[in-house]
Amino acid sequence: MQRVPDWTEPQRLFRALMENSRLLGWICEADGYCIYLSSAWQEFTGSENGLGIGWLNAIHPADRVPTYRAFTDANFSQTEYKVDYRLERPDGSYSMAMAHGSPHFAADGQYIGMFGITTTVHQYAAQADFVATVLPPEHKRILSDREREVLQLVAQGYTDGTAATRLGIAESTVSGHMKHAALKLGALSRSHAVFQAVRLNELDLTVSSHP
């Protein structure tokens, strides 16, 4: 049986903001129980059963344990939550995503849960469509064709191993391309590299490599 929340005014305002902005927003109570997932989250994942801890089912199986551990650690310590994971779409493909949650406290200082937003690389690409129009004419791409191929697959949830199989090259070669791309982009992680590549118009996420 699902929990019936006793909505606070900040929670109601956050819900309204998420619905109006079409962001993938969520609210969890102090015990970690998710009481709200925005309609945009449900549309993006195709899942309508994400409350409680059901939201984990929309995350790539290999990412569920580290994601939940990061969330429970942040919730227990009442601190900021940041994690990268692959989020499933209705067609079974995956999108690289970054989740960010902030602890929320009542007026008396009592911790009452966390507000969060998840940003997928596909959403980011849609929001960054203007980049091509504001980049200077002399802007040159900095990634090689193979590095872009690798990042394109990573953005869709491929691991180094599955990307290697897809491209017909060694896994170590894929890892090398990933490292070189991250260095060129000044990225600190795989997801950061993907988001940076999108921002610099290095990737076209309208092209799918999903089998």
pTM here is: 0.71
Question: Mean pLDDT, to the nearest integer, of 164-173?
Answer: 92
pLDDT in the model for residue 122: 74
- pLDDT tens for each residue of 145-155: 999 899 888 88
Contact present, 114 and 8 (Cβ < 8 Å): no
Look at residue 210 and tell me whether its pLDDT is greater than 80: no
Between residues 141 and 162, which one has the greater pLDDT? Answer: 162
Q: Rounded to whole angstroms, how far apart are CA atoms 40 and 42?
A: 5
Q: For tokens 């970054």, what's the residue?
A: 98
* Furthest CA-CA distance within the chain: 59
Lowest pLDDT segment from 144-148, 190-194, 201-205: 201-205
pLDDT band at 181, cuts 50/70/90? confident
pLDDT in the model for residue 139: 52
Residue 65, CA atoms < 13 Å, CB-side half-sphere = 1
Q: For tokens 């310590």, what's the residue?
A: 77
pLDDT band at 133, cuts 50/70/90? very low
Look at residue 27 and tell me whether its pLDDT is greater than 90: yes
Q: For tokens 């691991």, what's the residue?
A: 159
Calculate the alpha carbon distances from 122 to 112, 138, 144 in Å: 31, 26, 21
Calculate the alpha carbon distances from 168 to 79, 161, 163, 173, 209 in Å: 43, 10, 8, 10, 14
Q: Rounded to whole angstroms, how far apart are CA atoms 69 and 109?
A: 25
- pLDDT tens for each residue of 89-131: 999 989 889 899 999 998 899 999 999 999 888 777 665 554 4
pLDDT in the model for residue 193: 84
Q: Rounded to whole angstroms, how far apart are CA atoms 18 and 114?
A: 14
Contact present, 199 and 165 (Cβ < 8 Å): no
Q: Rounded to whole angstroms, how far apart are CA atoms 88 and 108?
A: 39
Q: Rounded to whole angstroms, how far apart are CA atoms 61 and 185?
A: 28
- H-assigned helices in the chain: 9-21, 39-45, 61-77, 121-127, 131-134, 145-155, 160-167, 171-185, 190-199
The domains located in the chain, with CATH, are 9-123 (3.30.450.20), 128-199 (1.10.10.10)
